[in-house]
């Protein structure tokens, strides 16, 4: 009696082996055929670049591309075949700043000639590309398949894959102090002798707003506010206590406490007008789109604490929606009880 060698319905077919690539393309997006884009060379702004790969077996039939092959994909400089360098970087994690810079005349949109739909449903690996130095580069990709390195710049032996995109990293804009919008509004409804002002900082070059989304002060933690100026027992006109805070952009409410007193004759007996009473205030902040907020809290009264006066000029960097830093400074005039915006 001979044994049958035919596969039964319950037997699995042999696993299909990936023999080569059906397609190997570099795009800004799987559904986007634009071949050229711009970004600002600030090291933060990112542009999405996707690598689309489809695999075939020895008979040319479409097969799945294994995870290890997809994870071997790297972005390269198309001309040299080397991984991104000289300020260019690729990350698999998307950052905060992915809005495109306005295209320059040198980087006009060029449409891909290959506009047909991919019928073989390629697999996609996504990167986020940034640059810290100005310049233009053509970006391709490479991967490892069965021990062979395949590059999308048609330089590999028997390689028919030729695909890339072009990125122009523009020098970040620098704006004059006059293009920054700096103004103050009164909170209102404070106790007698208390005043709270919100100062707002915005940016409007050529009449168009560029949103300010964050700030950096050396030595201040990323999630912390910065109380950068203030004092107690100041003996200034209608001001004995002051506290000035640069507030984090993600906040919508800021809490401050000011000394106050129901005794209208307190100033008659002492210039410091010391009181042990405090009033808690909830201040609405960051209520203007694209503006940063500084809160100035003032009182005619002093807290029952020591005399001090700190802060003069705060140097900080405002970060706009593209990730570009703008070096600025806020000067505190205690006598005038005003804040002045300056170039940092």
Q: Concatenated DSSP letters for 301-341?
A: SEESS--EEE-SEEEEEEEETTS-EEEEEEEEETTTTEEEE
pLDDT for 58: 84
pLDDT for 263: 64
Across the range 269-275, mean pLDDT stands at 80
- The answer to whether 339 and 292 are in contact (CB under 8 A) is no
pLDDT category at 102 given cuts 50, 70, 90 is low
pLDDT for 235: 92
pLDDT for 265: 62
Across the range 154-162, mean pLDDT stands at 71
Whole-angstrom distance, CA of residue 119 vs CA of residue 252: 49
Across the range 244-268, mean pLDDT stands at 86
pLDDT at 297 exceeding the cut of 90: yes
pLDDT digits (tens, 9 = 90+) for 178-209: 999 999 999 999 999 999 999 999 999 999 99
CATH number, domain 20-170, options 1.10.3470, 2.60.40, 3.40.50, 2.60.120: 2.60.40
pLDDT for 18: 85
Whole-angstrom distance, CA of residue 330 vs CA of residue 313: 6
pLDDT for 6: 44
Q: Sign of dihedral through CA atoms 320, 325, 326, 330?
A: positive
Whole-angstrom distance, CA of residue 257 vs CA of residue 251: 17
pLDDT for 271: 80
**Mean pLDDT of all residues in the chain?**
88
Q: Please give the model's pTM, rounded to 2 decimal places.
A: 0.83
pLDDT at 105 exceeding the cut of 80: no
pLDDT at 324 exceeding the cut of 50: yes
Where in the chain are all domains bearing CATH 2.60.40?
20-170
pLDDT digits (tens, 9 = 90+) for 26-81: 999 877 788 999 999 999 999 999 999 999 888 888 889 999 999 999 999 999 99
Across the range 220-230, mean pLDDT stands at 96
């Amino acid at each position: 009696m001979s044994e049958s060698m035919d596969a039964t319905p319950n037997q699995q077919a042999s696993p299909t082996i990936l023999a080569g690539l059906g397609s190997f393309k570099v795009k800004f997006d799987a559904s986007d055929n634009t071949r050229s884009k711009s970004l600002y060379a600030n090291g933060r702004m990112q542009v999405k670049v996707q690598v689309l790969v489809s695999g075939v077996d020895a008979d040319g039939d479409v097969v799945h591309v294994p995870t290890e092959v997809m994870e071997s994909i790297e972005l390269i400089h198309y001309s040299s075949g080397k991984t991104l360098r000289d300020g260019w970087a690729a990350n698999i994690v998307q950052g905060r700043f992915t809005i495109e810079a306005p295209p320059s005349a040198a980087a006009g949109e060029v449409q891909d000639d290959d506009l047909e739909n991919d019928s073989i449903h390629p697999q996609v690996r996504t990167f986020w590309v940034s640059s810290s130095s100005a310049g233009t580069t053509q970006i391709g990709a490479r991967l490892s398949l069965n021990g062979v390195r395949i590059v999308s710049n048609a330089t590999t032996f028997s390689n028919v894959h030729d695909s890339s995109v072009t990125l122009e990293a523009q020098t970040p804009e620098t704006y004059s102090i006059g293009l920054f919008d700096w103004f103050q509004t009164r909170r209102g409804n404070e106790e007698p002798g208390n005043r709270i002002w919100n100062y707002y900082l915005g940016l409007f070059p050529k009449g168009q707003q560029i949103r300010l989304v964050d700030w950096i002060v050396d030595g201040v933690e990323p999630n912390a506010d910065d109380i950068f100026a203030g004092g107690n027992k100041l003996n200034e006109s209608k001001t004995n206590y002051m506290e000035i805070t640069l507030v984090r952009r993600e906040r919508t409410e800021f809490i401050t406490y000011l000394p106050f007193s129901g005794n209208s004759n307190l100033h008659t007996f002492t210039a410091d007008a010391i009181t042990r009473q405090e009033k808690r205030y909830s201040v609405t902040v960051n209520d203007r789109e694209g503006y940063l907020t500084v809160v100035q809290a003032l009182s005619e009264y002093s807290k029952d604490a020591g005399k001090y006066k700190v802060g003069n000029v705060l140097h900080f960097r405002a970060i706009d929606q593209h990730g570009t830093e703008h070096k600025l400074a806020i000067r505190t005039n205690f006598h005038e009880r005003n804040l002045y915006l300056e170039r940092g």
